[in-house]
Chain A
Amino acid sequence: MDITETPAQREVRERYTAWLDDFLPDDYLARYHEHRLDWAFRRAHQRDAFEAGWLVPQWEPGLGGQGLDHLETLTIRLESARRAAPKLPNIQGVGVVAPGLREHGTPEQIDRYLVPLLRGDEWWALGMSEPGAGSDFGSIRTRAVRHGDTWVVNGQKIWTTQADQSRYATLYCRTDPAAPKHRGITCFIADLTAPGVTIRRIRSSEDSLESFCEVFFDDVELRADAVLGAVDDGWNVAMSSLDHERDMIWIMNWVEIERGLAHVRSSMLEHRRDDLLVDLGRRLADAEAIRMTGYRAVTNELRGERSPEFLILKLFGSESLQQVWELAIQAAGPGAVTDPGLLLEDFDALAATLYGGTSEVQRNIIGERALGLPKG
């Protein structure tokens, strides 16, 4: 075991920070909250990161990467988080859809969709949840029926982040109603501008940076080449997509935890609150443990060993994120309820234990996949 960076890790990290320093304006951190709302700025960051090979560092040049290994890639992702680099404006596109496309797409699909997605020219939404199928994804009822070379889709998706701004969605439909519920699902690439698609924004209880939508499909026609992966194999496409999503989310959580800790620190330096020290210590332990468990998991992967600790990161990250902002509110004192910025963080943190698989579903996954407990 060795905590020191390898020369290769250090070299790529230094190249990355040089690139990032060059991209970011000098007042970036001082005006972080304005930059966070500046979509044009965030789009420019994605485009430049794509060109420079920092967007998906483990992929090859031309696909937003430079062929880094797992360890170097994690180093870059954490460095980007530590530096509070601009969040990708359509993060589920790069984080979830792109790896799924690469894994399951035909050469033609990859050719057509991958680069515009990675450049941020075309945004993507994830068409999974339905009113009757949240955690129980296998219960989706949106139907796709085949007529020759065409599939006709009818149904409804909900909680679809950024559907109103997205050109495409990965759309999960039931294609074999007679099959057991986990079979008979197919993943499609759906054009959200097609006739028969209706998108309605859902008003969130507080302002939120990302839009939240429901999407209706009325006799929407998809061509046969819109199928992603194999017909009736959508369950497997979805499961690998959820793995990518968990992988994306824990690093997002870690960024927010670090930001929350900085907030707590400045409050506690302003007003001494010794009653909160133990809780602060707990959250410091969380932050360090999340980051280092990520490294542990990657080390195991590199050694070709099973890495069950990887499965804890989504649950651990999102639960800890919520606790950190709870602590930030306590540290701010009674005036917290008059601070819109803090209230927004509090609200955002509530969603963290829902999206990408609820904490309850994560505990099932850990129990069954890491510990080998029987399914209920």
Chain B
Amino acid sequence: MNFGFDEDQEALREAAEKLLAAESPPAFVREALEDPDAWRPLWSTIVDLGWTSLAVPERLGGLGLGVVDLVALAEVTGRWVLPAPWMSAAGLAGPVLAATGAGEGALAGIAEGAVSTLAAEGDVRWDGRTLRGTARRVPDAVRADVLVVLAAGPDGRVVGVVPAHDVRIEPTPAADPNRPLADVHLDVVVPVVAADPEPGLDVARTVLAAELVGVADRILEVTVEHARERVQFDRPIGAFQAVKHRLADLFVAVERARTLTYDAAMVLDDPASSTGRRREVASLAKAAASEAAILAAKSGVQLHGAIAITWEHDLHLFARRARQGASALGDHLFHYRRAAESFLGREG
């Protein structure tokens, strides 16, 4: 057993940290909230760097790497609240395509930088010919070229790949406008693949968990910095146990989530892992990371004080992504329950 990232992964993380600190600092992320096209130049850069091709098989033009690699990078994108649709394409749509074999062309397209996303929720049905219904809260749908749509068919679940120009996209409000949400109305004839999407979704949940760990980690970092510098009652507030203990508890929550996320990534990359084990670890990771990110956002605001509820302060940028990510693909209540059902030998 080895719990460390390898040299290539460490190099990727360092390069990503450097790039995003320069190209996606909080000031840029804040501007992007009100400028729907701000992400585009950054997107070209990260596609050129190969970030979207990490986990795409080599025969489809990708790097053929695994979940650990996706997690390694997702944590950094979380730390900088990357406003470009990397998560939707490489973290959500890609793993479902790869696990279900629903569209090799679409997977190759992700490697090349086609903006892709996953429509996982809603009431879309497939009647043998047509995908019909509404997919809800689809991230980055307004930016997407291609949608990977999960639907219920007459004989079980199906996965279809749909070009964005064949559907009607209705933007909705979103906690994090840097990952805009939309309802997607479908009435389109497309071929589908009959497949259980859960194994692919479990990869997506784990990558999303890594992003949430990154968000929580960065909030903890800036809040600790603040607690060391901010002086009240003649001492840095971090010297008060009421503050110190709150930060210690947050550190425990973040490390708990990080360990479970790395653990899940390793289990998912190991071909010997059983289906039940994959389901359990992915749920534990998503649940713990969702909780840690929300706790971080709340503690971060509380310990920064009133400044943290202003537009100019950075905290809301992180809080937005924490809130939206925590709810996506099952919140902590759903996933704790799912893991418990699995432990009790029920399918859940």
Contacts and interface: CB of A to CB of B under 8 A. Distances in A.
How would you classify the secondary structure of chain A's contact residues: helix, strand, loop or mixed? helix
A2 B68 CA distance: 9
A344 interface: no
Contact of B260 (A289, A316, A376): A289
Nearest to A285: B284
Given A3-B1, A374-B239, A281 B272 contact: no
Interface string A305-320: 1000100100110000
Contact of B256 (A265, A286, A367, A371): A286
How would you classify the secondary structure of chain B's contact residues: helix, strand, loop or mixed? helix
B263 A284 contact: no
A295 interface: yes
A296 B227 contact: no
Given A1-B5, A281-B287, A281-B338, A376 B281 contact: no
A282 B292 CA distance: 12
Contacts of A303: 4
Contact of B1 (A2, A300, A362, A374): A2
Interface string A245-278: 0000000000000000100010011000000011
A332 to B, nearest CB: 16
A289 B259 contact: yes
A316 B340 contact: no
A278 B344 contact: no
Interface in B242-258: 243-245, 247-249, 251-252, 255-258
Contact of A277 (B1, B3, B284, B341): B341
B224 interface: yes
Contacts of A280: 336, 340, 343-344
A106 interface: no
A5 B243 CA distance: 40
A372 interface: yes
Given A296-B3, A376-B239, A363 B270 contact: no
Contacts of A367: 238, 244-245, 247-248
Contacts of B287: 281-282, 285
Pick from A279, A285, A295, A372 the residue with the most CB of B within 10 Å. Answer: A285
Nearest to A367: B244
A278 B333 contact: yes
B250 to A, nearest CB: 9
A269 B269 CA distance: 32
B259 A296 contact: yes
Interface string B70-114: 000000000000000000000000000000000000000000000
A310 B285 CA distance: 19
A375 interface: yes
B129 interface: no
A285 B283 CA distance: 9
B342 to A, nearest CB: 9
A315 B339 CA distance: 24
B259 A373 contact: no
Given A1-B68, A284-B284, A374 B235 contact: yes
B1 A375 contact: no
16 contacts: A3-B273, A6-B1, A6-B2, A269-B344, A280-B344, A281-B283, A281-B340, A285-B339, A288-B281, A296-B3, A298-B3, A309-B258, A316-B252, A363-B248, A367-B244, A374-B228
Interface of A: 1-6, 9, 71, 75, 261, 265, 268-269, 277-282, 284-286, 288-289, 292-293, 295-296, 298-300, 303, 305, 309, 312, 315-316, 360, 362-364, 366-368, 370-376
Given A285-B284, A373-B228, 10 more contacts: A1-B3, A280-B336, A281-B337, A281-B340, A289-B256, A292-B259, A293-B256, A298-B3, A363-B241, A370-B251
